[in-house]
Amino acid sequence: MTSTLYNSQGILHPRGFRSPEPGFGDSDGAELVSVSWNQDYSCFSSGTSHGFRIYNCEPFKETFRRELKDGGFKIVEMLFRSNILALVGGGPNSQYPSNKVLIWDDHQSRCISEFSFRSEIRAVKLRRDRIVVVLEHKIYVYNFMDLRLLHQIENLANPRGLCCLSHHMNTSVLACPGVRRGEVRVEHFGLNMVQIINAHDANIACMTMTLDGLLLSTASTKGTLIRIFNTMDGTRLQEVRRGTDRADIYSIAFSPNVQWLAVSSDKGTVHIFSLRVRVSGEDSHSTEHETSSNSLQALVTPASGVNPGSSLSFLRGVLPRYFSSVWSFAQFHVPEVTQFFAAFGAQNTIAIIGMDGSFYRCSFDPVNGGEMTQLEYVRFLKPGTLK
């Protein structure tokens, strides 16, 4: 692994990277290669065959785009709403290598650093003080200010690039697959502590954390059960059921108030689950030790709806497990032909972005649940040949 930085005069230009040339390409010619939410789900990025674009969700609008002559990007990772992005080449005819991360400053319209690896990059995750690069068998954690390598984490084969970070400044938490099937490794860097969670029997397919890193939600390649864990001690706090047949889980997202969980899969339904866990008693000035001691409580939230369960749940332990399962509270149906990724918006709304270039915004009834109501639909880009 190597990294290249600008010198103090800012004249070192990373080899192989050219600055964007505004006006090249057109919206009809660009094809969609990837989509990705920013850390608080207020924006999303799309990697295209000719560059990348950034969109605001509420109200929906394209905020800017960069068109490049040398192809596009399979990874466009934002840092909240800042000018900093991490880019990894990919898509049809891209001349940007898939084993190199480019850290792009859009205010300066230049690449400010790069990292090169010997194998393909599966994901890049950013927080304000860290850059995390995910390879299939290893994760590298760098300090953002000086790009110093801080940690190297070995894991089981991770072709999906699974990794999630906390984003509160008083907690520094990273979750990734462990070294055994169905295992999640949680690094509490501020506490110098590692928590191993045996989350599933099958391999991990999808995971997410709350912004403070105290709650983790996971799904396996079986795709039937979604589980929520306390990252401090590994306790399983809740389990909900997406369905009884196998599914590929595309996304899991907590609502900002940790009252709801959204799940999307290849079955063409976005599910909303009501959560019985929440983070309480947080103080913005608390340390990571103080936050970890007693801020997690498992409780029923009276103001929210309740997930429906089987009418045979009273026979728990006698009938097969799914008869006592907790099912989704609200649902929204999307086409099954492509991947969709869901996240929470304001006032009981859900935003959904698809690899077919579609954007949905819908609302759910927090008391009665059921079918969600579509509020908005936009076709922001045509799908590409690379999914």
pLDDT, position 302: 41
User: What's the whole-number average pLDDT of the chain?
Assistant: 83
Q: Is the pLDDT of residue 11 over 80?
A: no
Q: What angle do CA 303, 307, 309 make, to 5 degrees?
A: 140
What pLDDT score does 306 carry? 60
In this prediction, what percent of the chain has a pLDDT beyond 90?
A: 68
Express each pLDDT in 288-321 by its tens digit: 434 333 445 443 344 456 655 544 444 445 444 4
Q: What is the pLDDT of residues 83-125, one digit of tens each?
A: 999 999 987 778 899 999 999 999 888 889 999 999 999 999 9
Given a cut of 90, is residue 46 above it in pLDDT?
A: yes
Nearest to 343 by CA among 277, 273, 261, 249: 261
Please tell me the predicted confidence (pLDDT) of residue 382. 76
CB 126 within 8 A of CB 139: no
Place of tokens 């080899």: 15
pLDDT in tens, 133-149: 999 999 999 999 999 99
- Can you give the pLDDT at residue 140? 98
Which of 287, 256, 226 has its CA nearest to residue 350? 256
Report the CATH fold assignment for 31-118.
Thrombin, subunit H (2.40.10)
Q: pLDDT per residue over 224-255, tens digit each?
A: 999 999 999 999 999 999 888 899 999 999 99
**Residue 374 pLDDT grade (very low, low, confident, very high; cuts 50, 70, 90):** very high
Distance CA 47, CA 67 (A): 10
User: In the predicted model, is pLDDT for residue 9 greater than 70?
Assistant: no
Distance CA 56, CA 42 (A): 6
Q: Is the pLDDT of residue 160 over 90?
A: yes
Mean pLDDT, residues 156-171 taken together: 94
**Residue 361, strand partner residues:** 351, 376
**Where are the domains positioned within the chain?**
31-118, 162-280+323-386
pTM equals 0.83
Burial bucket for residue 98 (CB in 10 Å: 0-12, 13-18, 19+)? middle
> Is the pLDDT at 68 greater than 60, yes or no?
yes
pLDDT of residue 268: 93
190-230 pLDDT per residue, tens: 999 999 999 999 999 999 999 999 999 999 999 999 999 99
- Its sign, for the CA torsion 267, 182, 152, 292, is positive
**DSSP assignment, residue 59?**
T
Instruction: Judge whether residue 25 has pLDDT over 70.
Output: no
Cis status, amide bond into 59, omega within 30 of 0? yes
| Three-state DSSP class for residue 294 | helix
Closest Cα to residue 32, out of 80, 107, 91?
A: 91
Q: In which element (H, E) is residue 143 found?
A: strand 138-143
- Where is pLDDT greater, at 336 or 195? 195
**Confidence class of residue 385 from pLDDT cuts 50, 70 and 90?**
low
Contact of 204 with 247, CB cutoff 8 Å? no
Between 296 and 66, name the one with better pLDDT. Answer: 66
The string over 124-159, giving b where at least 16 C-beta atoms fall within 10 Å of a residue's C-beta and e elsewhere, is: bbbbeebbbbbbeeebbbbebeebeeeeebebbebe
Tokens 């690069």 found at: 133
Ramachandran bin of 266, using left for φ above 0, alpha for ψ from -120 to 50, beta for the remaining angles: alpha
Could you report how far apart the first and last alpha carbons of the chain are, in Å?
27
pLDDT of 48 above 60: yes
3-state secondary structure of 267: coil
Which CATH number, 2.130.10.10, 3.40.630.30, 3.30.365.10, 2.30.130.60, labels domain 162-280+323-386?
2.130.10.10
